[in-house]
Structure formats: C-alpha cells, structure tokens
Amino acid sequence: MSQPHSGSIPADNSPVRNRRGEILAGRYELLELIGRGGSGSVFRARDPRLGRQVAVKIAYPCDPKQRARLIREARIGAQLQHPNLMQVLDHGIESACIYIVMPYIMGPTLRARLNAGPLPWQTAGIFVHQLLTALAVLHNAGVAHRDVKSDNCLLSHDPTGDRLILADFGLARIVRDSLTDLPPHQTSQVLASIGYMAPERIDSQGDARSDVYSAGVVLFEALTRRLPFRGAPDEVLWQHGHELPVSVSSLADVPHAFDELIATALAKNPRDRFQTVGEFDAELLRSIRPGQLEVVPTAGVERVTRALHAWEQCDVTGALVEAREAEVCDRRWRCLRELIEVVREVERAATVSE
C-alpha cells in the first residue's frame, strides 16, 4: 500500500479513480476500493480518531439534483436509527466531492449471497422479514425508499445469525414531512432498477406500496435466484405492467403459501397489494413460522474475512487468531484454521532450516 498523504482530494475528480492511500477530510484513510459506479466510489477506510474501520462513499455530483439526492441520502441515514437500516456516521463536502461515512459491513450483499444458489425458504423469509422491518421504519418516518433490490441489502453477521441491512437512500422520496432539514425530491425521472420497479413508477413517483412491490420481487429472487421478469428493459417494463409472474412453487421447493403471498405483493394495481409493509410482514411470518425454524447463518464470516485479509498481508499469526475465533462461532470454519496452522508450521520449519 502506498503511503497516505494528508490534504484535500485532488482536482482530478474521476468517479472511478482509485484513491487508495489518501486521507479524506483530514481524517479518513482510504484503504481499499470495494465498489464503484458511474457517479462515485466506495472505499474501506480507517478512522484513526475512533479506531475503527468504516465505509466511505465518495461521489462527484454533476448537477444540483444529484447533489440534493446525495445529501438527502446522508441525512436520512443519519436521522433514522435501526439495526436493519444502514447508519450514516458522517458526511461532508470536500473539493468537488460529497462523501458519506457508514459502518463497514464485512458481509456480502444479498445479491452476492444468491450467486451460490437460491436460499432455503425459511432463510429467505427471515431476510425479507428484516427488509420489511427496515422499510416500516422508513415509511413511518414518511420516506419511500424507491430502490429496494438485493444489491442494496447487505448481510452482516450477528452472534444470533445473519442480519439484513437496507442501504442506499439516494432515490428515497419524502412523502410526509417528518424528518428535518432534508433537500426536497426534485425529479420524477425513472431511476430505480427496472427489474424491481413497480408498474406505477413508469408514470408516477410511487409511494410506500411501490416498496411493497419491490420487496415482493426480492422475495421471489431469494427463493428462485432469478427475477420474475427478464429481458430487454422495455420488455421488462411491459411485463411489470401486464404479465403475471410464474409461481415460485413451480421453480423452487417452497410451500404453496408463497405463491399467494408473492402474487399479492406483485399485484399490478397498488390498491390490490398489501397496503403496508406491516400487512406483508404479518402474512410472511404466518407462512414461515419463525418460532419453529432455525435459520442457517454464515457464522464467523467477519472473522473469516479478517483471517483471509491478514493472510493476504502475509500476517499468518493474525490470520490464525481470526480463524480460531471463526471456529468458535461455527465449527464449519475449522478447515480454515487447520490450513493456516499447516502454513505456519511450514514457515517455522523453513526458518529453522535456514
């Protein structure tokens, strides 16, 4: 890693530039580029003042509307506190960029988790229950998220299992003035991910029932590893408005109750859907009976991530410490600990022979 230097972000404000090693706002040391898009980048960073790792989103708004979206995203995350909502720790403006500081979540997105295959229906139900809980907090505060998708659902490990965290409030719309000092929503442009977008969003800004629809798409995706409607963007938009999705029970081994549940959530007319995320959640919980199931967690995943990172930095001792902690969380990680121990013994033998 190159040595960090203090000072402002340079004039080159390319959103995809890797600013690894720089100090942002005289405080946040950018350690690793972990994501990027057309308007900015996300870094794993270190906050030496509080001695913790954070995620820093750096964006370069090209117009006032985009700038307002970013500020609104930061302030919504700062004012609404809930375990299933991404928290905003700090934000500011430096040179040409707006930055947002958030907790560093070491787990994957729900979309990345699905790369390994669809989830067991109980696990999918628990995750979507947590998503609906997060949306209820937003809706109660008068905020419609309007970009609910599996890429915006992060999975963080708790001692009791995985926890879903809903992130990215950049497209959120204030439907009731209950939060303070938020820039108004200034555009009706369709910006949400088309695969998750409620039909009414084509012609209007939508409301909380649009989030119900998108959450239904996420449930469908979690159960089947595919979206209900696929094809070119114009084809997907037409299907959202005119076609019924195939039943999930025909694609996955799930109870038939999920067919009716998703059909109601994905009703074309908002009046025919669950009218609140609370209604959706109540029916979902009746379907999965959470008291009678054990959700399969990715126990120890944060420790494993730290172990692998230490190993990449040739810190075998640090990697072994983290791997042992991971094994305490879940015995399935014992193989990683054993592998690292073998590597350490080989290194010791090589040192003795020298």
Residue-wise pLDDT for 296-305, tens only, equals 444 566 677 7
4 within some domain: no
Asked if 164 and 224 sit in the same domain, the reply is yes
Helices (H), the chain: 64-79, 110-114, 121-140, 208-224, 233-242, 257-265, 277-288, 301-312, 316-329, 334-353
1 pLDDT band, cuts 50/70/90, is very low
Asked if 170 and 145 sit in the same domain, the reply is yes
15 within some domain: no
Catalytic residue check, 253: no
pLDDT at residue 220 is higher than 70: yes
- pTM metric for this prediction: 0.74
pLDDT at residue 187 is higher than 50: no
Section 323-330 average pLDDT: 74
Please give the Cα distance from 96 to 33 (Å, whole number).
Answer: 19
Asked if 212 and 97 sit in the same domain, the reply is no
Asked if 72 and 183 sit in the same domain, the reply is no
177 within some domain: yes
224 within some domain: yes
10 within some domain: no
Asked if 221 and 126 sit in the same domain, the reply is yes
11 within some domain: no
Asked if 171 and 95 sit in the same domain, the reply is no
Reported as a single tens digit per residue, the pLDDT across 32-42 is: 998 876 567 89
Of the three residues 247, 274, 292, the one that is the final residue of a domain is 292
Give the pLDDT of residue 292.
52
- Domain containing residue 339: 301-353
Section 255-277 average pLDDT: 96
Structure tokens that stand for 29 in this block: 């040391």
Which member of 63, 147, 158, 207 is catalytic?
Answer: 147
Section 11-29 average pLDDT: 73
Tokens 């905003």 found at = 88
Structurally, the chain folds into a number of domains equal to 3
